[in-house]
Amino acid sequence: MKNFPHQFNDLTKLFNALAVARQLINNETPLTDENFGEQLTRGGIYTYRDRTLSIDEFLAAEAQKPAANRGYLTVSRDIRRFFELMGFISVFPDKTARLSPAASQLLRTDSEDIRKELWKNSLLQLGLEGTDGEVSHPYRILLKIVNTFPGIETPKLMLALEAENDSEEEFERISNLAQRDMGQIIEDTGTSTAMAANAVKILPGIAEQLGDIERINSRAYPVGQLVITEDEITTEEQPARRPRTDFRETNSAGIARDPILNVVSSVSIDLADAIRIRQRRLAEHQEIVRQLALLNEEKGFQLFEGKFDCLAIKDDTAILYEVKTILESSTDEEKQTVKGVGQLKYYKYSIVHRQMGYTNIKEVLVFSHKPNDGIIEFCSAENIRVVWKDGGTFQIFNVQNGADELFNPDNLI
């Protein structure tokens, strides 16, 4: 488990602490634990329990304790390290320090929205090195965990600090751990209960303030999710915990309301990973098209390709295929179905009918696996046949007998 500062996660306090650091730097005051801690205390950023004491009385009392027992020194040390990890300050051996351009921009910005963007950009770049020298980006990993496991128990977000690096293999290990109970996770990672608790004190709270996650009843949900298909990478509102009806009564003032636009930098955190997912889906899509083409060719159909995925022609019948890879998600199925149906209707009219001159055109939507019954019913009502990949074969829903059967394109003629 990588060590991460765990004093406080309130962005207002952190902003004010950064302003204190700037003041010390501008005054050419070394950013020592003592100097920084005293000013954090005087600024009300670090608070102590005995409020009957004045700040001077408190500091005088603390001075009588061993340095290791002075809480304000521990806080100053942790906050300074946090700012160093964020790339906000550079501290030199003599404890003189320099403020980065990113920190200066944050401090002179009045807009809360822009501040959030600046916080987020720095968090996404924050790299954490382990004892083995490998670097991970814990904020990126945290958001990836929440997007992969919506509703995950908040304590399990400690795994953002468990990752050794940002590789797919390492995230697979983290994903496997995330599906175990907390006792198993602590045992398997060799982490103490106290370390596990500290590991979730900061980043989840900051992610919530930045609007990247929501925490409800000790569970974390993504505010936005990546939707990655074979032909695009988009982001949309996470519907998993926001059930809504498919229609509602409205009026001219309430219809087509402006969307609440969340900052999208969190979506770019795993852009490389998203591209890899897109590539995998594209590879799967292309393989299905090839197998479908081979099946039709073996049945004596003439094949065409173009904007559509596959067109198979025999005699005066044209079978137009659109292939969609789908995930185990109703949202993904719906999105892909709507897109596929639109493509079939458009290509059927604009290419196969107008340009190629065919009138007897059969439309087939092919999925990477069997979609839910509602999708099949909808497509059937639109005179679109539904076919899906099943191992090494293709299956089709027979609208006459309501059964699944082996797909034979000749049966559509």
Q: What DSSP character marks residue 100?
A: -
State which H helix or E strand residue 317 sits in: strand 317-324
Question: Comparing C-alpha atoms, which of 361, 359, 275 is closest to residue 322?
Answer: 361
Tens digit of pLDDT at every position of the chain (413 positions): 888 888 888 999 999 999 999 999 999 999 999 999 999 999 999 998 888 999 999 999 999 999 888 889 999 999 999 999 999 999 999 999 999 999 999 999 988 888 888 999 899 999 999 878 899 999 999 999 998 898 899 999 999 999 999 998 999 999 999 999 999 999 999 999 999 999 999 999 999 999 889 888 889 988 865 555 666 655 555 444 444 444 455 555 554 555 444 444 444 444 556 667 777 888 889 999 999 999 999 999 999 988 899 999 999 999 999 999 987 666 778 889 999 999 999 999 999 999 999 999 999 999 999 999 999 999 999 999 999 999 889 999 887 888 899 999 999 98
User: What is the predicted pLDDT for the residue at 7?
Assistant: 81
Whether the Cβ atoms of residue 263 and residue 116 lie closer than 8 Å to each other = yes
d(CA 105, CA 224): 27
**Which residues 6+ apart lie within 8 Å of 363 measured at CB?**
320, 322, 344, 345, 348, 383, 384, 385
142 neighbors 204 (Cβ within 8 angstroms): yes
> Residue 257: what pLDDT?
52
DSSP string, 338-381: HHHHHHHHHHIIIIIITTT---EEEEEEEESS---HHHHHHHHH
pLDDT value of position 239: 46
DSSP result, 1-51 = ------S---HHHHHHHHHHHHHHHHTT----HHHHHHHHHHTTSS--S-T
